[in-house]
A and B are shown apart, each in its own frame.
Chain A
Amino acid sequence: MADQSLVGVTDEPFELVVERGKIREFARATMSTNAEYIVEKVPVSPPTFLASSAFWSPPGNSVFSKVKLDLKRVLHGGVEYVFHGPPPAAGAELTAQTRIAEIYEKDGKRGGTMTFVVSVQEFRDCDGNLVAEARNTTIETARPPADGKSRTATEGR
Protein backbone atom coordinates (compact mmCIF):
# COMPACT_ATOMS: atom_id res chain seq x y z
CA MET A 1 0.00 0.00 0.00
CA ALA A 2 1.22 3.44 -0.87
CA ASP A 3 2.13 5.70 2.02
CA GLN A 4 -0.52 8.40 2.65
CA SER A 5 2.10 10.60 4.29
CA LEU A 6 3.51 11.18 0.78
CA VAL A 7 0.57 13.45 -0.10
CA GLY A 8 2.05 16.93 -0.40
CA VAL A 9 5.55 15.69 -1.23
CA THR A 10 7.13 17.73 -4.06
CA ASP A 11 10.04 17.36 -6.42
CA GLU A 12 12.68 20.06 -6.88
CA PRO A 13 11.39 22.86 -9.12
CA PHE A 14 13.20 23.10 -12.44
CA GLU A 15 13.28 25.57 -15.32
CA LEU A 16 12.22 24.84 -18.87
CA VAL A 17 12.08 26.85 -22.07
CA VAL A 18 9.29 26.30 -24.60
CA GLU A 19 11.08 26.07 -27.96
CA ARG A 20 9.74 26.66 -31.48
CA GLY A 21 11.52 23.65 -33.01
CA LYS A 22 10.24 21.40 -30.21
CA ILE A 23 6.70 22.65 -30.80
CA ARG A 24 7.02 21.80 -34.51
CA GLU A 25 8.41 18.35 -33.70
CA PHE A 26 5.66 17.68 -31.17
CA ALA A 27 2.87 18.92 -33.49
CA ARG A 28 4.15 16.62 -36.26
CA ALA A 29 4.45 13.65 -33.90
CA THR A 30 0.84 14.16 -32.78
CA MET A 31 -0.34 14.46 -36.40
CA SER A 32 -1.60 18.03 -36.24
CA THR A 33 -2.43 19.73 -39.54
CA ASN A 34 -2.82 23.10 -37.80
CA ALA A 35 -0.64 25.69 -39.54
CA GLU A 36 -0.55 27.74 -36.31
CA TYR A 37 2.08 25.38 -34.89
CA ILE A 38 4.20 25.51 -38.05
CA VAL A 39 3.78 28.90 -39.69
CA GLU A 40 3.62 31.25 -36.70
CA LYS A 41 6.93 32.82 -35.66
CA VAL A 42 5.87 32.49 -32.01
CA PRO A 43 3.53 29.48 -31.97
CA VAL A 44 1.67 28.36 -28.87
CA SER A 45 2.44 24.84 -27.67
CA PRO A 46 0.05 21.90 -28.29
CA PRO A 47 -2.27 20.87 -25.39
CA THR A 48 -0.15 17.90 -24.25
CA PHE A 49 3.22 19.49 -25.09
CA LEU A 50 4.21 19.98 -21.46
CA ALA A 51 4.65 16.19 -21.22
CA SER A 52 8.00 16.94 -22.85
CA SER A 53 9.06 18.94 -19.79
CA ALA A 54 10.63 15.63 -18.73
CA PHE A 55 13.60 16.68 -20.91
CA TRP A 56 14.29 19.54 -18.48
CA SER A 57 13.85 17.67 -15.22
CA PRO A 58 17.10 16.78 -13.43
CA PRO A 59 17.76 13.00 -13.36
CA GLY A 60 16.22 11.29 -10.34
CA ASN A 61 13.99 14.29 -9.59
CA SER A 62 10.63 12.53 -10.11
CA VAL A 63 8.34 12.48 -7.09
CA PHE A 64 7.61 8.89 -8.06
CA SER A 65 11.04 7.91 -6.81
CA LYS A 66 9.56 8.67 -3.38
CA VAL A 67 6.28 6.78 -3.92
CA LYS A 68 7.10 3.10 -3.71
CA LEU A 69 5.05 1.63 -6.54
CA ASP A 70 5.70 -1.72 -8.22
CA LEU A 71 6.59 -0.53 -11.74
CA LYS A 72 5.48 -3.83 -13.28
CA ARG A 73 1.93 -3.03 -12.19
CA VAL A 74 1.87 0.68 -13.02
CA LEU A 75 -0.45 2.14 -15.67
CA HIS A 76 -1.13 5.70 -16.74
CA GLY A 77 -4.81 6.25 -15.96
CA GLY A 78 -5.26 9.72 -17.37
CA VAL A 79 -4.08 13.30 -17.53
CA GLU A 80 -5.68 16.73 -17.55
CA TYR A 81 -4.02 19.97 -18.65
CA VAL A 82 -5.40 23.32 -17.50
CA PHE A 83 -4.25 26.58 -19.10
CA HIS A 84 -4.81 29.95 -17.41
CA GLY A 85 -4.77 31.75 -20.76
CA PRO A 86 -3.43 30.56 -24.13
CA PRO A 87 -0.99 27.62 -23.85
CA PRO A 88 2.64 28.69 -23.29
CA ALA A 89 4.19 30.01 -26.51
CA ALA A 90 7.67 29.58 -27.98
CA GLY A 91 10.21 31.45 -25.91
CA ALA A 92 8.30 31.11 -22.64
CA GLU A 93 10.59 30.44 -19.69
CA LEU A 94 8.74 28.46 -17.06
CA THR A 95 9.39 26.85 -13.72
CA ALA A 96 7.80 23.44 -13.15
CA GLN A 97 7.16 21.67 -9.89
CA THR A 98 5.21 18.48 -9.19
CA ARG A 99 3.47 17.52 -5.98
CA ILE A 100 1.62 14.39 -4.92
CA ALA A 101 -1.97 15.61 -4.57
CA GLU A 102 -3.91 12.44 -3.70
CA ILE A 103 -3.34 8.77 -2.94
CA TYR A 104 -6.34 6.44 -2.68
CA GLU A 105 -7.25 2.79 -3.16
CA LYS A 106 -10.06 0.89 -4.85
CA ASP A 107 -10.91 -2.80 -4.95
CA GLY A 108 -10.04 -4.36 -8.34
CA LYS A 109 -12.79 -6.25 -10.20
CA ARG A 110 -10.58 -9.33 -10.34
CA GLY A 111 -9.60 -9.08 -6.71
CA GLY A 112 -6.77 -7.28 -5.03
CA THR A 113 -6.35 -3.60 -4.41
CA MET A 114 -5.58 -0.86 -6.91
CA THR A 115 -3.71 2.23 -5.78
CA PHE A 116 -4.32 5.59 -7.46
CA VAL A 117 -1.72 8.34 -7.22
CA VAL A 118 -2.67 11.81 -8.46
CA SER A 119 0.20 14.21 -9.11
CA VAL A 120 -0.14 17.86 -10.08
CA GLN A 121 2.64 19.63 -11.98
CA GLU A 122 2.45 23.42 -11.89
CA PHE A 123 4.06 25.66 -14.51
CA ARG A 124 4.78 29.28 -13.54
CA ASP A 125 6.17 32.21 -15.50
CA CYS A 126 9.05 34.48 -14.43
CA ASP A 127 6.67 36.54 -12.27
CA GLY A 128 5.41 33.45 -10.46
CA ASN A 129 2.03 33.46 -12.21
CA LEU A 130 0.47 30.03 -12.66
CA VAL A 131 0.14 29.52 -16.43
CA ALA A 132 -0.56 25.79 -16.72
CA GLU A 133 -1.16 22.64 -14.66
CA ALA A 134 -0.86 18.96 -15.55
CA ARG A 135 -2.84 16.56 -13.35
CA ASN A 136 -1.75 12.94 -13.89
CA THR A 137 -3.39 9.83 -12.47
CA THR A 138 -1.09 6.84 -12.07
CA ILE A 139 -2.56 3.43 -11.21
CA GLU A 140 -0.83 0.52 -9.53
CA THR A 141 -2.95 -2.49 -10.49
CA ALA A 142 -3.51 -5.60 -8.40
CA ARG A 143 -1.33 -7.66 -10.75
CA PRO A 144 1.02 -6.98 -13.68
CA PRO A 145 -0.73 -5.69 -16.85
CA ALA A 146 0.89 -8.43 -18.95
CA ASP A 147 -0.83 -11.04 -16.79
CA GLY A 148 -3.89 -10.92 -19.04
CA LYS A 149 -4.18 -10.58 -22.79
CA SER A 150 -4.87 -6.92 -23.34
CA ARG A 151 -5.43 -5.21 -20.07
CA THR A 152 -6.60 -1.65 -20.03
CA ALA A 153 -6.13 1.21 -17.65
CA THR A 154 -9.74 1.09 -16.59
CA GLU A 155 -9.94 -2.45 -15.37
CA GLY A 156 -11.32 -2.47 -11.90
CA ARG A 157 -13.31 0.72 -12.26
Chain B
Amino acid sequence: MGVTWDDLEVGTEAASRHFGPLTRTDFVRYQGASGDFNPIHHDEEFARGSGFPTVFSVGMLQAGILASFATDWLGASNVRKFGVQFREQVWPGDELTCSATVVGLDEAVRTVDLELLCTRQTGGTAIKGTATFVVG
Protein backbone atom coordinates (compact mmCIF):
# COMPACT_ATOMS: atom_id res chain seq x y z
CA MET B 1 0.00 0.00 0.00
CA GLY B 2 1.25 3.43 -0.87
CA VAL B 3 0.20 5.37 2.21
CA THR B 4 2.95 6.01 4.78
CA TRP B 5 3.06 7.68 8.19
CA ASP B 6 4.37 10.91 6.67
CA ASP B 7 1.32 11.15 4.40
CA LEU B 8 -1.09 11.34 7.34
CA GLU B 9 -2.06 14.12 9.72
CA VAL B 10 -5.25 15.06 11.54
CA GLY B 11 -7.70 16.13 8.86
CA THR B 12 -6.23 14.00 6.06
CA GLU B 13 -9.05 12.56 3.97
CA ALA B 14 -9.13 9.46 1.80
CA ALA B 15 -10.41 9.94 -1.73
CA SER B 16 -14.12 9.16 -1.36
CA ARG B 17 -15.49 6.24 -3.34
CA HIS B 18 -18.90 5.36 -4.76
CA PHE B 19 -20.53 1.95 -4.59
CA GLY B 20 -23.64 0.77 -6.36
CA PRO B 21 -26.39 1.19 -7.32
CA LEU B 22 -26.83 -1.77 -4.98
CA THR B 23 -28.88 -4.65 -6.31
CA ARG B 24 -30.80 -7.50 -4.73
CA THR B 25 -28.02 -9.72 -6.09
CA ASP B 26 -25.51 -7.78 -4.00
CA PHE B 27 -27.64 -8.47 -0.91
CA VAL B 28 -27.87 -12.18 -1.72
CA ARG B 29 -24.14 -12.47 -2.47
CA TYR B 30 -23.38 -10.99 0.94
CA GLN B 31 -25.91 -13.21 2.67
CA GLY B 32 -24.29 -16.25 1.09
CA ALA B 33 -20.81 -15.07 2.11
CA SER B 34 -21.77 -14.26 5.69
CA GLY B 35 -24.32 -16.97 6.46
CA ASP B 36 -27.00 -14.49 7.57
CA PHE B 37 -30.07 -15.68 5.66
CA ASN B 38 -32.70 -13.43 7.21
CA PRO B 39 -35.41 -13.54 4.49
CA ILE B 40 -36.24 -9.86 4.97
CA HIS B 41 -33.20 -9.08 2.77
CA HIS B 42 -34.13 -11.25 -0.24
CA ASP B 43 -37.71 -12.54 0.02
CA GLU B 44 -40.06 -9.90 -1.41
CA GLU B 45 -43.21 -11.51 0.01
CA PHE B 46 -41.67 -11.83 3.44
CA ALA B 47 -40.50 -8.20 3.46
CA ARG B 48 -43.93 -6.88 2.36
CA GLY B 49 -45.64 -9.16 4.86
CA SER B 50 -43.47 -7.54 7.54
CA GLY B 51 -44.68 -4.09 6.48
CA PHE B 52 -41.73 -2.96 4.38
CA PRO B 53 -42.17 -1.68 0.79
CA THR B 54 -39.56 -4.18 -0.46
CA VAL B 55 -36.46 -6.01 0.68
CA PHE B 56 -33.64 -3.93 2.12
CA SER B 57 -29.89 -4.43 2.47
CA VAL B 58 -28.13 -6.29 5.25
CA GLY B 59 -26.59 -3.72 7.57
CA MET B 60 -23.44 -5.83 7.67
CA LEU B 61 -23.13 -5.52 3.87
CA GLN B 62 -22.69 -1.75 4.01
CA ALA B 63 -20.48 -2.25 7.10
CA GLY B 64 -18.36 -4.62 5.00
CA ILE B 65 -18.26 -2.16 2.10
CA LEU B 66 -17.09 0.60 4.47
CA ALA B 67 -14.48 -1.80 5.89
CA SER B 68 -13.30 -2.62 2.35
CA PHE B 69 -13.02 1.09 1.60
CA ALA B 70 -10.83 1.57 4.71
CA THR B 71 -8.59 -1.48 4.17
CA ASP B 72 -8.22 -0.68 0.46
CA TRP B 73 -6.76 2.65 1.64
CA LEU B 74 -4.54 1.69 4.59
CA GLY B 75 -3.94 -2.03 4.10
CA ALA B 76 -5.67 -5.28 4.92
CA SER B 77 -3.10 -6.40 7.51
CA ASN B 78 -2.95 -3.04 9.28
CA VAL B 79 -6.46 -2.76 10.71
CA ARG B 80 -6.68 -3.09 14.51
CA LYS B 81 -10.20 -1.77 15.17
CA PHE B 82 -13.26 -1.30 13.01
CA GLY B 83 -16.65 -0.30 14.39
CA VAL B 84 -19.96 0.89 12.95
CA GLN B 85 -23.30 2.25 14.09
CA PHE B 86 -26.22 1.60 11.79
CA ARG B 87 -28.38 4.59 10.89
CA GLU B 88 -30.65 4.63 7.80
CA GLN B 89 -31.67 1.48 6.00
CA VAL B 90 -30.23 0.87 2.52
CA TRP B 91 -32.60 -0.07 -0.31
CA PRO B 92 -32.23 -1.65 -3.78
CA GLY B 93 -30.97 1.01 -6.18
CA ASP B 94 -29.22 3.00 -3.46
CA GLU B 95 -25.84 4.50 -4.28
CA LEU B 96 -23.40 4.67 -1.40
CA THR B 97 -20.47 7.02 -0.89
CA CYS B 98 -17.74 6.11 1.57
CA SER B 99 -15.37 8.64 3.08
CA ALA B 100 -12.68 8.62 5.76
CA THR B 101 -10.96 11.33 7.78
CA VAL B 102 -7.96 11.03 10.08
CA VAL B 103 -8.96 12.22 13.55
CA GLY B 104 -5.98 11.10 15.60
CA LEU B 105 -2.42 9.79 15.40
CA ASP B 106 -0.33 8.06 18.07
CA GLU B 107 3.32 8.37 17.10
CA ALA B 108 4.58 6.05 19.86
CA VAL B 109 2.73 3.03 18.46
CA ARG B 110 2.27 4.36 14.90
CA THR B 111 -1.50 4.09 14.90
CA VAL B 112 -4.00 6.31 13.12
CA ASP B 113 -7.64 6.76 14.13
CA LEU B 114 -10.25 7.34 11.43
CA GLU B 115 -13.79 8.59 11.31
CA LEU B 116 -15.70 6.79 8.57
CA LEU B 117 -18.95 7.66 6.88
CA CYS B 118 -21.19 5.80 4.44
CA THR B 119 -23.92 8.00 2.97
CA ARG B 120 -26.84 7.31 0.64
CA GLN B 121 -27.59 9.25 -2.56
CA THR B 122 -30.20 11.15 -0.53
CA GLY B 123 -27.45 12.57 1.66
CA GLY B 124 -28.71 10.50 4.57
CA THR B 125 -26.23 8.58 6.68
CA ALA B 126 -26.35 4.80 6.31
CA ILE B 127 -23.46 4.11 8.67
CA LYS B 128 -21.09 6.00 10.91
CA GLY B 129 -17.87 4.22 11.70
CA THR B 130 -14.50 4.43 13.39
CA ALA B 131 -11.30 2.53 12.73
CA THR B 132 -7.74 2.24 13.97
CA PHE B 133 -4.86 1.19 11.70
CA VAL B 134 -1.15 0.74 12.23
CA VAL B 135 0.85 2.59 9.60
CA GLY B 136 4.50 1.95 8.73
Question: Which residues of A come within 8 Å of B, CB atoms?
Answer: 22, 25-34, 36-37, 43-44, 46-48, 51-52, 54-55, 72, 75-87, 135, 144, 146-147, 150-154
Please name all residues of chain A whose beta carbon is closer than 8 Å to the beta carbon of B8 when the two chains form the complex: none
What is the distance, in angstroms, from B134's C-beta to the closest C-beta of chain A? 9
Please name all residues of chain B whose beta carbon is closer than 8 Å to the beta carbon of A47 when the two chains form the complex: 64, 67, 70-71, 79, 82, 131
Instruction: Out of B65, B75, B83, name the residue touching A31 (CB < 8 Å).
Output: B65
Number of B residues near A (Cβ < 8 Å) is 40
Interface check B15, CB cutoff 8 A: no
Please name all residues of chain B whose beta carbon is closer than 8 Å to the beta carbon of A54 when the two chains form the complex: 34-36
What is the distance, in angstroms, from A68's C-beta to the closest C-beta of chain B? 19
What is the distance, in angstroms, from A70's C-beta to the closest C-beta of chain B? 13
Please name all residues of chain A whose beta carbon is closer than 8 Å to the beta carbon of B130 when the two chains form the complex: 80
The SS class assigned to the A binding surface is: mixed
Shortest Cβ distance from B28 into A: residue: A29
Instruction: Out of B35, B36, B59, B76, name the residue touching A44 (CB < 8 Å).
Output: B76
CB pair A78–B67 under 8 Å, yes or no, is no
Please name all residues of chain B whose beta carbon is closer than 8 Å to the beta carbon of A144 when the two chains form the complex: 50-51
Instruction: Out of A30, A31, A87, A150, name the residue touching B77 (CB < 8 Å).
Output: A87
Interface check B2, CB cutoff 8 A: no
Using A29-B29, A79-B60, A144-B51 as known contacts, say yes or no to A150 and B89 having CB atoms under 8 A apart.
Answer: yes
What is the distance, in angstroms, from A14's C-beta to the closest C-beta of chain B? 13
8 Å CB interface, B63-100 against A:
63-65, 67-68, 70-72, 75-89
Shortest Cβ distance from A25 into B: residue: B33
